């Protein structure tokens, strides 16, 4: 576990907090400013409106996953740039830590500079969020990837996604790109949320390739790239040539496996990224990405947009709790194309985009449960 540090101001000044009917302001004046006995002019104090403060409790996979947590942080960083907010965060290592951190942030609001919003990243924080939201009904909160009843908890916003829609698109590409007609999926846990990814992926692959075979495995760990790589190694060795990883930091092991195995077989070993644009990670040196890449595409789950949007509501004084839903039709879900790193045949892109249009139009309905297969 690690905390970030909130910014501090170090200067030879005196700072006075004034609380009025319209908000809090900081009055700043310098007691060491030059003075003379020949003038009676005084400089009025400078009033600086206090910025909005946000607290974030990340998922246990932690920052550095280059997907889910990092994407949420990017949304907060974008809000800093756009609105001048400040934020602090914590990276728990166990789900048992969630409630304590949330409660600490909510209690901090009571006696010090308030947090205008507390954001919980990940479905497994739901119970902790409900406990704290009930005890602090005036504290604005948000949670990514879990629905919390707004009738009972009106101070909580649920940020949800149609992951299965975007997964269908990358599955469609996998079905068209595979040389062996064998695809794989490595998920973080065997739970409904992750199985939405798997369901869409298998559906999309079958949509473009009825002869597809698939293998599914779970890491049961969001922060174990080594295990993700081991599972992917086994799939590639068995003839699978495209693997979609949706396992947080563990999913980075799938990409590592694709790169390690590509020269060991008579077929390409492809990976598919998740949440954030990850095609660059399939290059020989991701720090200086040049083609080719072995990550053919990524399923884009715009958690950055979700975090940014709920912060924007607080800044604009339009926060109302409830549900914010992100789909293929509103741009909250998509798939990655990066022709600077990999040129996909136009016919393949056209077929994937045709499926995308059909999903948006409602003429194709993607299942969200893997057990449809």
| Structure confidence at residue 113 as a pLDDT band (50, 70, 90) | low
3-state secondary structure of 82: helix
- Please identify, among 109, 126, 161, the residue that sits at the C-terminal boundary of a domain: 161
**Tens digit of pLDDT for each residue in 65-83?**
999 999 999 999 999 999 9
- Specify whether 132 is located in the same domain as 173: no
- Cβ atoms of 119 and 90 within 8 Å: the answer is no
CATH of the domain at 223: 3.40.50.2300
Q: Does some domain include residue 154?
A: yes
What pLDDT score was predicted for residue 14?
34
- Specify whether 144 is located in the same domain as 230: no
Domain that holds residue 156: 14-161
| Structure confidence at residue 372 as a pLDDT band (50, 70, 90) | low
- Specify whether 139 is located in the same domain as 210: no
- Specify whether 347 is located in the same domain as 209: yes
**CA-CA distances (angstroms) from residue 353 to 25, 168, 169, 235?**
51, 11, 8, 28
- Specify whether 198 is located in the same domain as 63: no
What pLDDT score was predicted for residue 264?
86
Nearest residue to 300 via CA among 277, 267, 268: 277
- Specify whether 149 is located in the same domain as 178: no
Report the distance separating Cα 311 and Cα 305, nearest Å: 10
- Cβ atoms of 88 and 3 within 8 Å: the answer is yes
Q: Does some domain include residue 308?
A: no
Strands (E), 11-125: 14-20, 23-29, 46-49, 53-57, 86-90, 117-121
- Specify whether 176 is located in the same domain as 150: no
Counted domains in the chain = 2
| pTM of the predicted structure, to 2 decimals | 0.84
Rounded (10°) angle between helices 303-315 and 68-83? 30
- Specify whether 358 is located in the same domain as 219: yes
Nearest residue to 271 via CA among 246, 249, 308, 291: 246
- Is residue 36 over pLDDT 80? no
- Specify whether 297 is located in the same domain as 265: yes
**Tens digit of pLDDT for each residue in 247-281?**
999 999 999 999 999 988 888 999 999 999 999 99
How many alpha carbons fall within 13 Å on the CB side of residue 154? 4
Structure tokens at 304: 């950055």
- Specify whether 72 is located in the same domain as 204: no
What pLDDT score was predicted for residue 348?
98
| Structure confidence at residue 41 as a pLDDT band (50, 70, 90) | very low
């Amino acid at each position: 576990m690690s905390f970030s540090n909130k910014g501090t101001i170090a200067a030879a000044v005196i700072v006075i907090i004034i609380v009025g009917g319209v908000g809090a302001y900081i009055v700043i004046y310098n007691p060491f400013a030059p003075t003379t006995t020949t003038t009676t002019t005084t400089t009025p104090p400078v009033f600086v409106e206090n910025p909005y403060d946000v607290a974030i409790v990340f998922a246990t996979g932690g920052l550095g996953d280059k997907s889910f947590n990092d994407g949420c942080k990017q949304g907060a960083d974008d809000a800093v740039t756009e609105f001048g907010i400040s934020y602090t965060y914590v990276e728990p290592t166990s789900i048992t830590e969630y409630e304590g951190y949330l409660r600490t942030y909510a209690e901090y609001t009571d006696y010090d500079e308030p947090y205008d919003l507390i954001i919980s990243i990940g479905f497994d924080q739901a119970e902790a969020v409900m406990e704290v939201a009930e005890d602090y009904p005036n504290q604005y909160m948000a949670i990514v990837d879990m629905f919390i009843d707004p009738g009972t908890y009106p101070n909580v916003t649920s940020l949800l996604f149609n992951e299965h829609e975007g997964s269908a698109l990358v599955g469609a590409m996998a079905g068209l790109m595979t040389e062996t007609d064998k695809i794989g999926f490595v998920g973080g846990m065997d739970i409904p949320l992750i199985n939405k990814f798997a369901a869409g992926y298998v559906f999309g692959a079958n949509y473009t390739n009825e002869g597809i075979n698939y293998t599914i495995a779970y890491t049961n760990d969001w922060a174990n790239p080594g295990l993700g790589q081991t599972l992917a190694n086994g799939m590639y060795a068995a003839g699978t040539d495209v693997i979609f990883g949706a396992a947080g930091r563990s999913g980075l092991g799938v990409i590592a496996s694709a790169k390690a195995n590509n020269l060991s077989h008579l077929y390409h070993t492809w990976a598919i990224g998740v949440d954030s644009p990850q095609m660059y990670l399939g290059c020989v040196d991701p720090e200086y990405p040049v083609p080719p890449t072995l990550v053919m595409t990524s399923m884009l789950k715009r958690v950055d947009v979700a975090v940014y949007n709920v912060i924007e509501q607080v800044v604009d004084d339009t926060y109302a709790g409830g549900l914010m839903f992100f789909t293929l039709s509103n741009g909250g879900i998509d798939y990655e194309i990066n022709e600077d790193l990999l040129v996909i045949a136009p016919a393949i892109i056209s077929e994937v985009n045709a499926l995308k249009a059909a999903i948006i139009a409602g003429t194709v309905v993607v299942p969200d449960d893997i057990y449809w297969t």
